[in-house]
Structure formats: C-alpha cells, structure tokens
C-alpha cells in the first residue's frame, strides 16, 4: 500500500462515512481514491469530479456511470455500491477489486503474445455481455480497463458516456466536444461519417487497444486533433505484420494483424458483427500459439453471426455523384497555385424525388473537409415556415457557432478578433439573427437604425463579411441547404450575393435518378 506524508493526507478529499487512504489516479476531470468505510472497514474505490462547481453535463455523465451499471450482473465490470453526495457533486463508491489500470500495467510490464490474447479474449467476453444488455460503452481504452496484477483478470470501468440505446446518430462537433477519447475514436463517433453509432463502435476502440498492447504505440499519432480525426476517417493503420511485438525481437503474426485490421475497419459493416465471432478467432490464435508456438493465417469471421437486425448504412450505386461533389470541393479548397481554374466558390444543385438519397450523397463530402480542416454546416428550409427569412441559414450558422464554442479559449479569442474586425460596430445586426454569436463576441453596441433598402443592403454586406471569416484556404466552408424548393425570397437573394461576391464562381445542376 502507498504511504503518505501528512502533507499528502491533507490533500486527500474528505468524504462523509469514509476514510480516504491513497490517491490512485487524478486527471483534469476526475480523481480516483482507495478508502475504507468507517463502520464496516470495507475497502472501496471512490471516484469524484475534480471541479468544485461541475457543469450539468458533467453531473449527468457522472450519474450515468451509476445508473447504467447498478443493476448489471456482468462479472467483467467493477460493481458500483452507491452514489454519495460530495460537495456540489457526487462520489461514486465502487468495490475494491484489487485491480490497477491496464495503462499503468503495460508501462511496468512486458506482456507476452499469449498474455495479450488472454486479455483481449476477456474483453471480448465483457463486450458480448454488454452488447447483449444493449449497452454501448463508447470509450474502451487501456485507462478504462483494470487488470489484477496476480491473476491478470480484467474488468471494464467508466460508463460515463455509455449508451442504453441500440443506435445513436452523432452530431458534428468540434474535436474538443466529441464524446470519447480521440486516439481510440471510431470514425462514426466523429459525426463526420454519415453513419450511426452502434455496438460495433466498441470493436473499433478494442482494435486500437489491441494494436497498442501488441507494439506499444498507437496506430495514429498526432498532436493535431483534426489530423487524428482524419486518420480515423481515411487512413489505414501501419501494417502490424511489419512491426515487432513490444519488447520482443519478432514480428506480429499475420493472423493477429488481420484481426486488428478487421476490428479497425472504417465501415462498421466490415468489422466483426458479434463478439462471439471475435472470440472464436482469438481462441484459434491462442490455441495454435500454445500448441505449436506459431499462428498460421486462417480465414476470419467464419463463426461471426450477428444476432442483431442491422440495416447496412453503406451508400450503394452513388459513386459518380459523390465523386462530383468531392471534385467540386477539391477545386475550391485546394491551394490557389494548384488549381486549374481560379474558383473560390461553387454552387451545386442536387435534384431528385423525395427519399431518393440526396441528403445521404451530400453527407459523404465530410471526409475531405476534415482533411482540409474545414467546416460542414447544414440547414433545412420548411414549407410551413416560408415566412421566416433565412431560416436554413440560421440553423446552419447556429450549428457552426456551437462547433466553435467547444474550442479552446485562445481559439475563441482568435475568432472574436476576426469577427469584430469584419463586422465592426454593426456586429449586433448578425447577433440578432444568430444569438449564440453573443457568447463569442460578448455584448455589442446597438446598430444604427436604418429602414427599407438601406437596412437590407447593410445586412447583405455584413453577412457576406461574416461568411468570409469562416471560408478561407486554411478552413474552407461547406454549407448544405436542404429542401431549397421551400426557400424564401430573401434566402435565394442571399445565395446569389454570396456566389457573386466570390472571385470566380461556378454553378452546377444535376439530378439523382
């Protein structure tokens, strides 16, 4: 047991009914401690939030851990005992199982291949139990896996963002606002994949964890969040079979590399469709390794039968249309010196019958936008609100402001400087249209009163400048306006002005059939 000086003890939290003995982990959001109950002297683990005044979202996520796991009888999770009040927040009391973080364990120990396979087999077992209970963990990583130092039994912790829904649709958010840990994030969790989040999302994170256990490094390494997102969306991990096992002078077997690659497939349809199928392949590898000392390649997923009814979300038969959109984006977003023609904007009109898949086609353009560090925003016109001017534009730019608000304080100050430079003393005109902008710019002086065409002309000019702030070579802007047939006259006029304002523009019109 770790001992503490008196100075250390004064830094430990005071929780009613418990004597806190030692600190196990402390991060920016949470702290984890070992304690004993003052009445029964039972050893427990206590998790608390670090903030004195946590946000409502933090409190909801913290309660979520207890709510989701309290009635589960799964042996592969750490059992919660109670949720106790602590200051302005809660303290989550859990059984003291004797395990430590797998993250710390692999830093202090070199695991053999059969030990790694045993660990991943246990994780597959736990995931099977969770998925049978209709729970998606959404944050599987070594830091959320506990391992017993003697028996090497593993258990899963931290269900703060876990979901009880069989499927979720992830909204586009700034990298700092995404749920989960960026290095282990499945492509669909980024909100930029045009795919829903379901139980197969956990397989991707398990694949990244498996990769890390094998070679001691992550498949994608970058300090740039957007670069990491782009790697998850579009890049393949390094070939594992060419890398050495961590701490050993031998390569990763091809069969193991194939399993990891399948787990980390970009499309959920190409991953394992059940934990049972994954377990079978892992067990084959372990059996062959223990019997012969080698693992010969074999056909994967022969026992991978999904017991969920899943409708594939892959887009079929629209390759040409998607490529047309991607080509248009490349023409506008590529550096000026690389362009065949100097085009700063393009308007593409996509026509087709209702339900034919226009929106699905447009959403496919999000992958290259991430690579270019651009913004994709969308709004929808409503036939019953045609009397509300600029309704789709308001939806789209409110979405953009929400993305910006999740960025760092330094970046927000940068946006504030650019916006005030562009809008000047008339920023209040745009704030009245997009109220969330006030959270970036702060209180602004009232704009001078104008009437008639003068007010309209001022608004058009300001909105053009506003859009120009977010549409630069460093971060191109894509605006998707759905159901354009219900657009009001003012919105159509604004579209025309935005196109004409660009140095070089192009308009294309094509129909889906």
C-alpha dihedral sign at 65, 70, 71, 74:
positive
Q: Output the CA–CA distances (angstroms, integers) from residue 104 to 205, 220, 240, 285, 299, in the order listed.
A: 18, 20, 23, 26, 34
Pair (172, 246) in one structural domain: yes
Q: Higher pLDDT residue, 312 or 114?
A: 114
User: For the chain, what is the domain count?
Assistant: 3
| Residue 172: predicted pLDDT | 59
Pair (48, 128) in one structural domain: no
Pair (437, 354) in one structural domain: yes
If 0-12 CB within 10 Å is exposed, 13-18 middle and 19+ buried, where does residue 273 land? buried
Pair (284, 327) in one structural domain: no
* pLDDT 10s digits, 489-503: 989 998 888 887 655
Of 249, 277, 292, the residue that ends a domain is 292
Residue 423 CA from chain centroid, whole number: 33
Residue 174 predicted with pLDDT over 60: no
Instruction: Residue 513: count other Cβ atoms within 10 Å of its Cβ.
Output: 7
**Residues of the domain holding 277:** 100-292
Query: Binning pLDDT at 50, 70 and 90, where does residue 508 land?
Result: low
Pair (282, 326) in one structural domain: no
In a domain, 457, yes or no: yes
| Residue 341: predicted pLDDT | 52
Residue bearing tokens 């920023």 = 427
Pair (279, 366) in one structural domain: no
Residue 357 predicted with pLDDT over 80: yes
One DSSP character per residue, 307-320 reads -S--------S-HH
In a domain, 303, yes or no: no
In a domain, 310, yes or no: no
What average pLDDT score do residues 421-428 get?
91
Q: Higher pLDDT residue, 202 or 315?
A: 202
Give the CATH number for residue 65: 3.30.200.20
Query: Binning pLDDT at 50, 70 and 90, where does residue 449 land?
Result: confident
Residue 129 CA from chain centroid, whole number: 24
Let me know: does 63 contact 90? Beta carbons within 8 Å: yes
Instruction: List own/partner pairs for 468-472 with CB under 8 A and 24 or more apart.
Output: 468/422, 468/501, 469/415, 469/418, 469/419, 469/422, 470/375, 470/400, 471/345
| Residue 509: predicted pLDDT | 58
* pLDDT 10s digits, 70-99: 888 899 999 899 998 898 899 999 999 888
In a domain, 409, yes or no: yes
Q: Output the CA–CA distances (angstroms, integers) from residue 80 to 55, 149, 497, in the order listed.
A: 23, 21, 59
Pair (152, 288) in one structural domain: yes
Give 237's contacts (C-beta < 8 A, 6+ positions apart).
211, 219, 220, 260, 261, 264
| Residue 298: predicted pLDDT | 95
Residue 28 predicted with pLDDT over 90: no
Residue 9 predicted with pLDDT over 70: no
Instruction: Residue 300: count other Cβ atoms within 10 Å of its Cβ.
Output: 18
| Residue 343: predicted pLDDT | 61
In a domain, 314, yes or no: no
* pLDDT 10s digits, 429-446: 999 999 999 999 999 999
| Residue 336: predicted pLDDT | 57
Average pLDDT, the chain: 86
One DSSP character per residue, 78-115 reads PPEEEEEEETTEEEEEEE--S-EEHHHHHHH-PPPHHH
Query: Binning pLDDT at 50, 70 and 90, where does residue 27 land?
Result: confident
Of 64, 95, 126, the residue that ends a domain is 95
Residue 233 CA from chain centroid, whole number: 11
Of 139-143, 189-193, 288-292, 401-405, the one with minimum mean pLDDT is 189-193
One DSSP character per residue, 240-280 reads GGGSBPTTSSSBPPHHHHHHHHHHT-SSGGGS-S-HHHHHH
Of 73, 95, 117, the residue that ends a domain is 95
In a domain, 306, yes or no: no
User: What's this model's pTM, rounded to 2 decimal places?
Assistant: 0.79
Query: Binning pLDDT at 50, 70 and 90, where does residue 370 land?
Result: confident
Task: Single out the residue of 480, 478, 488, 489 nearest to residue 382, CA to CA.
Answer: 488
Give the CATH number for residue 241: 1.10.510.10
Cα separation of 106 and 246, whole Å?
10
Pair (132, 89) in one structural domain: no
Q: Higher pLDDT residue, 274 or 328?
A: 274
Let me know: does 276 contact 305? Beta carbons within 8 Å: yes
Pair (107, 37) in one structural domain: no
What average pLDDT score do residues 248-255 get?
93
In a domain, 266, yes or no: yes
* pLDDT 10s digits, 207-231: 999 999 999 999 999 888 878 888 8
| Residue 326: predicted pLDDT | 85
Q: Both tokens of residue 120?
A: 């991943």
* pLDDT 10s digits, 335-355: 655 555 556 788 888 888 888
Q: Where are the beta strands (DSSP E) in 265-371?
A: 345-351
Pair (433, 482) in one structural domain: yes
Of 115-119, 242-246, 301-305, 384-388, the one with minimum mean pLDDT is 384-388
What average pLDDT score do residues 323-333 get?
86
Select the highest-mean-pLDDT range: 189-193, 396-400, 402-406.
396-400
What average pLDDT score do residues 141-154 get?
93
Residue 176 predicted with pLDDT over 80: no
In a domain, 302, yes or no: no
Pair (280, 400) in one structural domain: no
Cα separation of 444 and 379, whole Å?
26
Cα separation of 334 and 370, whole Å?
13
Q: Both tokens of residue 135?
A: 């729970």
Q: Both tokens of residue 316?
A: 């079929």
Pair (362, 376) in one structural domain: yes
Q: Higher pLDDT residue, 470 or 450?
A: 470
In Å, the largest CA–CA distance within the chain is: 86
């Amino acid at each position: 047991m770790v001992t503490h000086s008196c100075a250390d003890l004064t830094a430990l939290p005071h929780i009613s009914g418990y004597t806190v003995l030692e600190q196990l982990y402390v991060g920016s959001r949470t702290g984890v401690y070992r304690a004993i109950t003052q009445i029964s002297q039972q050893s427990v683990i206590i998790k608390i939030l670090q903030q004195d005044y946590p946000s409502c979202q933090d409190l909801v996520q913290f309660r979520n851990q207890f709510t989701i796991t309290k009635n589960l009888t799964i042996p592969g999770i750490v059992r919660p005992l109670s949720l106790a009040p602590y200051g302005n927040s809660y303290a989550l009391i859990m059984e003291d199982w004797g395990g430590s973080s797998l993250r710390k364990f692999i830093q202090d120990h070199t695991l053999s291949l059969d030990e790694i396979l045993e660990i991943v087999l246990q994780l597959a077992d736990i995931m099977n139990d969770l998925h049978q209970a209709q729970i998606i963990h959404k944050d599987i990583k070594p830091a959320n896996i506990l391992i017993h130092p003697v028996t090497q039994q593993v258990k899963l912790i931290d269900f703060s963002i876990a979901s009880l829904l069989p499927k979720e649709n992830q909204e586009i958010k700034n990298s700092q606002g995404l749920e989960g840990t960026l290095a282990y994030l499945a492509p669909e969790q980024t909100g930029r994949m045009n795919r829903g989040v379901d139980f197969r999302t956990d397989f991707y994170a398990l694949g990244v964890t498996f990769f890390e256990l094998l070679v001691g490094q992550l498949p994608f390494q970058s300090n740039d969040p957007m670069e990491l997102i782009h790697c998850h969306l579009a890049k393949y991990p390094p070939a594992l079979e060419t890398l050495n096992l961590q701490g050993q002078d031998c390569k990763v077997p091809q069969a193991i590399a194939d399993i990891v690659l399948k787990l980390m497939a970009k499309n959920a349809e190409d991953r394992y469709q059940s934990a049972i199928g994954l377990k079978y392949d892992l067990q084959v590898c372990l059996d062959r390794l223990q019997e012969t000392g080698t693992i010969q390649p074999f056909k994967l997923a022969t026992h991978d039968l999904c017991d969920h009814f899943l409708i594939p979300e892959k887009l079929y038969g629209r390759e040409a249309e998607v490529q047309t959109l991607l080509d248009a984006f490349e023409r506008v977003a590529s550096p000026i010196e690389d362009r065949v023609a100097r085009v700063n904007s393009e308007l593409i009109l996509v026509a087709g019958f209702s339900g034919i898949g226009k929106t699905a086609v447009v959403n496919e353009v999000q992958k290259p936008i991430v690579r270019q560090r651009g913004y994709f925003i969308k709004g929808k016109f409503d036939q019953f609100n045609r009397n509300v001017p600029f309704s789709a534009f308001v939806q789209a730019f409110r979405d953009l402001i929400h993305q910006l608000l999740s960025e760092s304080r330094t970046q927000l100050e940068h946006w504030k400087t650019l916006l005030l430079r562009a809008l000047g003393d008339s920023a209040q005109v745009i704030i009245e249209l997009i109220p969330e902008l006030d959270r970036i710019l702060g209180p602004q002086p009232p704009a001078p009163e104008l009437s008639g065409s003068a007010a309209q002309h001022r608004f058009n000019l300001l909105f053009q400048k506003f859009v120009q702030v977010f549409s630069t070579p460093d971060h191109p802007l894509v605006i998707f306006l759905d159901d354009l047939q219900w657009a009001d006259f003012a919105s159509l006029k604004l579209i025309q002005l935005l196109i004409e304002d660009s140095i070089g523009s192009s308009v294309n019109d094509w129909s889906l059939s």
